[in-house]
């Protein structure tokens, strides 16, 4: 009953922790197909509980069940009668089934997918009227009940509804289930109350651990499935709320919003749409958000890695590294070394409580936090057959902050061996444990690695996204692909990436060792701490990336753990003398590639059409990770950098501003890049109130009074002088 115990700890901790709140920290999302860049439906979540918690990815074969056979949840004793047949399905599961199976996420053979769950709970008044049922349906068994036993997403919702109605729910949960017809979003609110909606194609949502449903049309039986007494229970509990004259579900069932839920909901909404009209301190956040911006898979990956970049906030787990949160002496368990005595994890475990007055309110709980054990993104497409899952699942086992996403079709019949190692402690052959070890090293040694690890995986993912789009087109045209074919290709890809992870792990260990070893008396230069060999893409083992120096400014992030690469003009660099564009990548030089750049100047932007050709004169587009440096217009401020496709902004790049009036960013492909400058509006004429001394000078009320008195005295003296002269 691991997660049950964890939740009890959370409840107890909440009573004593101030101003921080320990939280169950899964963050779910949905993006309707009308809002995506490629017309796919996107949904998924981060699974957050604790560091060093192994997850395995596996395939469960179809099987026939004996008459009377039951499925039993070891976590709380829930029992459910198995049907005659269980379908094949994939899952990302816990390694301790006696404490709960927690299959969590996967596809079944009929193209039904599920992400279960985002935990939530009703307020105390609701729980008194309709309490959770001790042996009711819980997260720990939900996927195992639903996914092998339904042929459609609606059937999945109806099955959950039936069980909750008859046997009750052990806890509040948010579940998302999808198939070829779309996504269903379901909130299990209390012991026997629930509401599910067919998700609209023109909205997007971010939902951490609180209920978000607003007002729904209970008469729309096609798109709404709800318990009979959901409104009555709220009235009986005296927690019934209306907004705009309509019953509002989340406001009626929720307790006050926890700070950690607020920070993730706000950050996620703004990450996918920076122009979203939401404020951090809004009373609540609507489930259904609108956007004029098209959202891609890469955008969602970036959101699941969000650590308040470009905002006024910083991640809570960064607090101690910044020296801003000092746990009370005697209340810290010495076992907590991750990373550097991570206060967030200690709080969650009740082992380290920061002293009042020694925290900074800028620190908030991020989507990408140390408790993320895996993250997944379903990318569902209309033209991919249901037999293949209707699309792919992008899976990061381990936190995606420092681990890669890989795509998997729904009809694979096996997974790579490293995914299936079920140990509860570090194992060199385990995907999760290697990813976890990389995370530990990168998080603890931020000055040494900067954001180089994440940039490495972003480069890999950019290549995989492009390759996957081509595969989707190929399989759609062919009417699908066999399980054998997609299994073989996914196994080969996983093997390649895991080998890369192992090399990276060893390189990081060596770099840390060298950093901690005092320099010898040898005349040989020591290893540079600003350089990381771990930034190579899957196609290169020699390209280098350098962390930005302390004199560089990043224009895209306020988070202190993100250091950007600083370019240097070396033998690893191609230079276009006409435009000043530089490409830093040893692979380009070794391959004798030729660089050509066409620059176009606009009023508030510069465009660079960058092309590379091989010795045969053939164009080269896909390369290993390359640091691109371009000049910046004198006196201008860079707003954003985009790759252009068909005349439209396609991919946004993080960049750094260098001291030599240039910017740098990383890419793995070459096309036209547009540097947008901030439009400076002419400042309005100020009244005298606006002409005050600059920052650092103090103008007090007494000082202003003194000026007034001095003016009066001068006026009187002048008048007397004039009178005397007269």
Enumerate the active-site residues. 26
Q: Alpha carbon of 643 to those of 602, 624, 647, 669: distances in Å?
A: 16, 16, 10, 9
- H or E element, residue 575: strand 573-576
Give the 3-state DSSP-derived string for 647-685, with helices as H, strands as E and coil as C. Answer: CEEEEEECCEECCCCEEEEEEEECCEEEEEECCCCCCCC
* Euclidean distance between CA atoms 543 and 520, whole angstroms: 27
Token pair belonging to 21? 């709140």
How is residue 328 annotated by DSSP? P
For residue 189, give the nearest of 242, 149, 129, 245 by alpha carbon.
Answer: 129
For residue 42, give the nearest of 260, 268, 220 by alpha carbon.
Answer: 268
Pairing, β 89-94 against β 55-60: antiparallel
Pairing, β 363-364 against β 314-315: parallel
The string of DSSP letters for 288-322 reads SB--SS-B-HHHHHHHHT-S-TTSS-EEGGGTTTT
The string of DSSP letters for 418-465 reads GGG---SS--TT-HHHHHHHHHHHHHHTHHHHTTHHHHHHHHHHHHHH
For residue 665, give the nearest of 697, 689, 643, 698 by alpha carbon.
Answer: 643
374 pairs with which residues across the strands? 47, 397
Torsion of CA 336, 342, 344, 347, to 10 degrees: 30
* Euclidean distance between CA atoms 330 and 338, whole angstroms: 18
Sequence-ordered list of residues with C-beta below 8 angstroms from that of 190, at least 6 positions apart, any chain: 122, 126, 127, 129, 130, 131, 132, 169, 172, 233, 253
- H or E element, residue 135: none
Q: How far is CA 506 from the centre of its chain?
A: 26
Sequence-ordered list of residues with C-beta below 8 angstroms from that of 172, at least 6 positions apart, any chain: 119, 120, 121, 122, 132, 187, 188, 189, 190, 211
* Euclidean distance between CA atoms 255 and 240, whole angstroms: 12
Token pair belonging to 580? 């000043």
CB 93 within 8 A of CB 104: yes
CB 378 within 8 A of CB 178: yes
Query: Over the range 272-297, which residues count as b (16 or more CB within 10 Å of their CB) and which as e?
Result: bbeebeeeeeeebbbbbbebeebbbb
Q: Which residue has the tokens 């395939």?
A: 59
Q: Return the ∠ at Cα 488 (arms to 486 and 492), rounded to 5°.
A: 115
Instruction: Count CB-CB contacts under 10 A for residue 552.
Output: 16
* Euclidean distance between CA atoms 322 and 344, whole angstroms: 13
CB 656 within 8 A of CB 688: no
The string of DSSP letters for 165-231 reads HHH-BSSEEEEEEEETTEEEEEEE-SSS-EEEEEPPTT-EEEE-SS-------TT-TTTEEE-TTHH
φ/ψ of 332, rounded to 5, equals -115, 125
Q: Which residue has the tokens 């981060």?
A: 46
Rg (CA), the chain: 29
* Euclidean distance between CA atoms 171 and 137, whole angstroms: 8
Q: Return the ∠ at Cα 352 (arms to 347 and 354), rounded to 5°.
A: 90
């Amino acid at each position: 009953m691991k997660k049950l115990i964890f939740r009890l700890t959370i409840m107890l901790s909440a009573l004593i922790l101030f101003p921080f709140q320990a939280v169950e920290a899964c963050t779910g999302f949905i993006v309707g197909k009308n809002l995506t860049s490629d017309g796919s439906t996107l949904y998924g979540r981060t699974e957050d509980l604790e560091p060093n918690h192994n997850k395995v990815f596996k395939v469960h074969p179809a099987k026939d069940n004996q008459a009377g056979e039951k499925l039993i949840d070891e976590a709380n004793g829930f029992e459910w009668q198995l049907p005659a047949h269980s379908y094949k399905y994939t899952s990302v599961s816990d390694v301790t089934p006696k404490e709960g199976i927690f299959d969590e996420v996967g596809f079944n053979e009929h193209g039904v997918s599920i992400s279960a769950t985002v935990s939530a709970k009703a307020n105390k008044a609701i729980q008194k009227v309709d309490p959770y049922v001790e042996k009711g349906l819980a997260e720990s068994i939900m996927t195992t009940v639903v996914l092998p036993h339904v042929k459609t997403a609606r059937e999945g919702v109806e099955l959950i509804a039936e069980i909750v109605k008859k046997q009750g729910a052990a806890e509040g949960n948010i579940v998302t289930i999808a198939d070829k017809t779309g996504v269903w979003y379901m909130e299990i609110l209390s012991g026997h109350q629930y509401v599910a909606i067919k998700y609209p194609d023109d909205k997007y949502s971010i939902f951490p651990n609180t209920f978000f449903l607003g007002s729904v049309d209970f008469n729309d039986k096609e798109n709404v499935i709800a318990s009979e007494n959901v409104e009555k229970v709220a009235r009986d509990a005296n927690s019934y709320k209306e907004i705009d004259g309509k019953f509002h579900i989340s406001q009626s069932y929720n307790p006050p919003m926890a700070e950690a839920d607020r920070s993730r909901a706000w950050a996620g909404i703004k990450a996918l749409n920076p122009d979203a009209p939401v404020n951090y301190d809004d009373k609540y956040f609507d489930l259904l958000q609108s956007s004029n911006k098209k959202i891609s898979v890469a955008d969602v990956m970036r959101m699941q890695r969000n650590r308040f970049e470009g905002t006024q906030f910083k991640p809570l787990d960064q607090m101690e590294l910044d020296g801003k949160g000092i746990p009370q002496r005697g209340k810290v368990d010495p076992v907590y070394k991750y990373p550097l005595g991570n206060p967030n994890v200690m709080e969650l475990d009740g082992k380290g409580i920061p002293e009042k007055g020694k925290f900074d309110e800028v620190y908030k709980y991020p989507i990408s936090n140390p408790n993320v054990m895996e993250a997944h993104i379903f990318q569902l497409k209309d033209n991919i057959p249901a037999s293949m899952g209707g699309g792919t699942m992008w899976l990061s086992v381990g936190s995606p902050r420092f681990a890669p996403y890989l795509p998997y079709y729904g009809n694979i019949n096996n997974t790579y061996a490293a995914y299936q190692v079920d140990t509860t402690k570090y194992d060199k052959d385990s995907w999760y444990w290697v990813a976890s070890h990389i995370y530990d090293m990168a998080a603890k040694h931020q000055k040494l690695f900067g954001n180089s690890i994440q940039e490495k995986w972003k480069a890999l993912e950019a290549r995989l996204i492009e390759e996957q789009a081509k595969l989707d087109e190929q399989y759609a045209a062919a009417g699908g692909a066999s399980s054998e074919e997609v299994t073989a290709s996914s196994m080969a890809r996983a093997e390649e990436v895991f080998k890369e992870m192992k090399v990276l792990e060893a390189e990081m260990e060596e770099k840390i060792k060298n950093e901690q070893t005092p320099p010898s008396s040898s005349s040989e230069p020591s290893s540079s701490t600003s350089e990381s060999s771990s930034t190579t893409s899957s196609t290169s083992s020699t390209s280098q990336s350098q962390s930005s120096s302390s004199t560089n400014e990043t224009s895209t992030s306020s988070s202190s753990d993100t250091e950007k690469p600083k370019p240097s003009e070396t033998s690893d660099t191609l230079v276009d003398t006409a435009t000043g564009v530089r490409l830093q990548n040893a692979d380009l030089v070794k391959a004798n590639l030729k660089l050509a750049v066409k620059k176009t100047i606009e009023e508030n932007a510069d465009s660079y059409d960058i092309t590379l050709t091989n010795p045969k004169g053939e164009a080269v587009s896909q390369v290993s990770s390359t640091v691109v440096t371009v000049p910046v217009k004198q006196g201008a401020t860079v707003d954003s950098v985009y790759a252009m496709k068909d005349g439209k902004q396609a991919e946004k790049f993080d960049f750094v501003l260098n001291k030599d009036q240039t910017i740098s960013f990383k890419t793995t492909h070459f096309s036209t890049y547009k540097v947008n400058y901030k439009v400076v509006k002419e400042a309005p004429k100020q009244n005298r109130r606006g002409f005050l001394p600059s920052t650092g000078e103090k103008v007090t009320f007494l000082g202003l009074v003194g000026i007034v008195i001095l003016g009066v005295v001068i006026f009187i003296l002048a008048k007397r002088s004039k009178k005397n002269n007269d």
